[in-house]
Amino acid sequence: MNAIVISAIWGVIMMFCGAFSKNNAAIRATAVLGIVLVFVVNLMELYGTKLFTINTTGMLAFDNFGLLFNAIAIGCTIAYFLLNGRDMEKVGLHYAEYYALIFFVLAGIFISSSFSSLLMLFLGIEIISIPLYILTGADKRNLKSNEASLKYFLMGSFSTGIMLMGICLIYGARGTFNIEQIALGTTTLTPMIGAGLLLLMFSLAFKVSAAPFHFWTPDVYDGAPTVFTSFMATIVKAGLFVAFIRLFEGAFDAMQPQWQTLMAIITAATLIIGNLTAVFQQSVKRMLAYSSIAQAGFMLFALVAMNGTGKEGLLYYTLAYSVPTIGIFAILVRMKDYTFEGFNGLAKHHPVLAAVTTIFLLSLAGIPATAGFMGKFYMLSAAIQNGHVMWLVIVGILCAAISVYYYFRVIQAMYFKDGDPQELETSGFHKGLLILMAAFVVLIGIFPQWLIQMLYNFF
Amino acid sequence: MKIEYYIVLSLALFCIGIAGVLTRRNAIVIFMCIELMLNAVNLLLVAFSKMHHLAGAAANPMAGIDGQLFVFFIMVVAAAEVSVGLAIIVMMYRNVHSVDVNFLNRLKH
């Protein structure tokens, strides 16, 4: 609760900051202060101390899963702010407003990780989406950014319309928006609930860019300013996944046998299309967009399996996917050339950056001793525990093998090809933070018990 | 009136909206079709709300009220979306002097 209120208020403070101060360093400091405050407040709530309590019965329910996810999302945002703070200045003139919008998006993520009414699901997802349309089009003079923004807006509001129809049909059948009451006594799919469930599933698959509703993703992620792509592809996507799993676990758990096959097909399609298309990309940014689709396929395992391991794995996977991706984007955003050739010879000119990029890419590919491996392990074991979808596990493993090809193309370009030295300005702080993140990725990959233990303490 | 009439009317409006989004090429018209989808949902929500109210009013005088509440939220969010969406379309128009979505192919390669 406290995190939602404070991040929304801090968004407003950031807007005032932009009106009264033109000093970018001060704005950046305010934003970092705000996000750290939100983090502390969220941790306090996780341990049972609340600054203030508001009665949200029937609308929002704050359980440990949601709060723990919030903590991970805020932690990633802190790293994102520290790494990309200076690059956001280059996007446009409205520096403070970008931070304000990100705080609003975070408030939306917190709402959608703790809703217990379909009304709050709708509001949470809209609070996430509307600022993102603006952030996508933040680079106003750039035609690609305009186009991405328009496309994202049209596709996003289209899927919102579909989601609303789904909510409406379920309301018609059950007479309530509360997910617990919907779950109560709903064990078979009547035509109306079935149609509502399908529409909700499609629209949320749209939002998390699962195939066959993924077609907007590469265009939008490619066209948006790179700093914001980094935010959209990691923290926001994970937040939408938590909303997805919360809805289907809360309201439609009893009907799982009836929709599991469809969800498994969506998952398999996402994995196959994401991985196969990523192989043919020329631009690293676009490759990362497809890789985010492919990784979304792995996160969908949690929905197919729908058990404790899956939920736990989703939290772990969020961290194991977000940290490396934010790191790679933080390096990519400072490069002039986004193609694979741009990475040629990076190891010779910037050995530290090349080394951390390698660790991040290894983690994304799921090589053992990195976080990505344990994340994939959890997802696959969740599906095996479920027992009904063994074929999906095989598809998942094959696709993980395909993904090694395009991630290693970047490593190969960095270490085994010669290229001209690129202009790539880094500071000691930037490098130090990246090394810290790489160390974290390896650490939780080797000692996953540490994080899992923390999860068990709360579950 | 029977609830089926409302369902058929709303679904018809909703499908017109979907068909419009998928076939039209003008960004403003697509946007209007999205609004049509949202309003079809509003209409159906109000009808369902009335239906649940009639069914449960004896036990609970507030039965079915939340459906009408939801409609207000949809209206508010739709208004927020309009303001952002029209701003994006204007931004696009300033740069390419067109609101035709067929122009949106720069990102394909």
Q: Is the peptide bond before A212 cis (omega within 30 degrees of 0)?
A: yes
Strand partners, B26: B100
Q: Does A215 touch chain B (CB under 8 A)?
A: no
State the average pLDDT over residues A437-444. 94
Q: Does A191 touch chain B (CB under 8 A)?
A: no
Q: Verify whether the Cβ–Cβ distance B106 to A119 is below 8 Å.
A: no
Q: How many CB atoms lie within 10 A of CB A429?
A: 11
pLDDT tens column, A396-424: 999 999 999 999 999 999 999 887 777 77
Q: Which residues of A331-360 are buried (b: 16+ CB within 10 A; e: fewer)?
A: bbbbbeebbbebbbbbbeebeebbbbbbbb
Token pair for A239: 């937040």
> Residue B3: closest CA among chain A residues belongs to which residue?
A172
Give the highest mean pLDDT range of A49-53, A195-199, A251-255.
A195-199
State whether residue A315 is helix, strand or coil.
helix
- CB contacts of A147 in chain B (<8 Å) are 92, 103-104, 106-107
Question: CA-CA distance, A31 to A24, in Å (whole number)?
Answer: 11
The answer to whether A407 touches A321, Cβ cutoff 8 Å, is: no
Q: Give me the pLDDT at residue B49, please.
A: 94
Nearest to A217 by CA among A231, A228, A229: A229
Residue A165 scores a pLDDT above 60:
yes
The answer to whether A235 touches A131, Cβ cutoff 8 Å, is: no
Q: Give me the pLDDT at residue A52, please.
A: 86
Q: Does A126 touch chain B (CB under 8 A)?
A: yes
The Cα of B58 is separated from the nearest Cα of chain A by a number of Å equal to 15
The Cα of A218 is separated from the nearest Cα of chain B by a number of Å equal to 9
The answer to whether B85 touches A149, Cβ cutoff 8 Å, is: no
Helices (H), B1-109: 3-23, 27-56, 65-96
State the average pLDDT over residues A412-437. 86
Mean pLDDT score of chain A: 91
State the average pLDDT over residues A259-263. 92
The Cα of A373 is separated from the nearest Cα of chain B by a number of Å equal to 32
Of A126, A143, A223, the CB nearest to B77: A126
Token pair for A3: 């995190």
Which one-letter amino acid corresponds to residue A347? Answer: A
State the average pLDDT over residues A302-326. 92
Which residues make Cβ contacts (< 8 Å) with residue B31, sequence separation at least 6?
A: A154, A157, B82, B85, B86, B89
Helices (H), A90-117: 95-112
Residue A192 scores a pLDDT above 60:
yes
Residue A13 scores a pLDDT above 60:
yes
Of B38, B52, B66, the CB nearest to A161: B38
Residue B109 scores a pLDDT above 60:
no
pLDDT tens column, B35-78: 999 999 999 999 999 999 998 888 888 888 999 999 999 999 99
Q: Give me the pLDDT at residue A257, please.
A: 87
Q: How many CB atoms lie within 10 A of CB A193?
A: 21
Give percent of chain A with pLDDT exceeding 70.
99
* Region at A229 (left for phi over 0; alpha for psi -120 to 50; beta for the rest): alpha
Question: CA-CA distance, A329 to A310, in Å (whole number)?
Answer: 27
Which residues make Cβ contacts (< 8 Å) with residue A249, sequence separation at least 6?
A: A306, A311
Residue A282 scores a pLDDT above 60:
yes
**What domains are defined for chain B?**
3-104 (1.10.287.3510)
Q: Verify whether the Cβ–Cβ distance A158 to B67 is below 8 Å.
A: no
pLDDT tens column, A283-313: 999 999 999 999 999 999 999 998 888 998 9
The answer to whether A120 touches A59, Cβ cutoff 8 Å, is: yes
State the average pLDDT over residues A320-346. 90
State the average pLDDT over residues A143-162. 93
Token pair for A85: 């703070």
Nearest to A199 by CA among A230, A239, A167: A167
Of A343 and A12, which is predicted with more confidence? A12
Question: CA-CA distance, B70 to B49, in Å (whole number)?
Answer: 10
Of B17, B51, B88, the CB nearest to A153: B88
Residues 101-120 of A with CB under 8 A from B: 119
Q: Verify whether the Cβ–Cβ distance B56 to A137 is below 8 Å.
A: no
Q: Give me the pLDDT at residue A154, please.
A: 93
Q: Give me the pLDDT at residue B108, please.
A: 60
State the average pLDDT over residues A139-150. 90
Of B17, B56, B104, the CB nearest to A151: B104
Q: Does A133 touch chain B (CB under 8 A)?
A: yes
Q: How many CB atoms lie within 10 A of CB A367?
A: 17
Residue B105 scores a pLDDT above 90:
no
Of A130, A146, A165, the CB nearest to B91: A146
* Phi, psi of A48, rounded to the nearest 5 degrees: 100, 0
pLDDT tens column, A35-62: 999 999 999 998 888 888 889 888 999 9
Residue A197 scores a pLDDT above 70:
yes
Q: Give me the pLDDT at residue A49, please.
A: 85
Q: Verify whether the Cβ–Cβ distance A164 to B30 is below 8 Å.
A: no
Question: CA-CA distance, A242 to B31, in Å (whole number)?
Answer: 29
> Residue A153: closest CA among chain B residues belongs to which residue?
B85
Strand partners, B100: B26
Q: Give me the pLDDT at residue A308, please.
A: 86
- Indicate the DSSP class of residue A253: G
Question: CA-CA distance, A416 to A436, in Å (whole number)?
Answer: 26
Question: CA-CA distance, A113 to A65, in Å (whole number)?
Answer: 8
The answer to whether A145 touches A207, Cβ cutoff 8 Å, is: no
Q: Give me the pLDDT at residue A138, please.
A: 93
Task: pLDDT band for A459, please (50, 70, 90 cuts).
Answer: low
Q: Give me the pLDDT at residue A12, please.
A: 96
Q: Does A144 touch chain B (CB under 8 A)?
A: yes
Q: Give me the pLDDT at residue A21, please.
A: 86
Q: Give me the pLDDT at residue A458, please.
A: 67
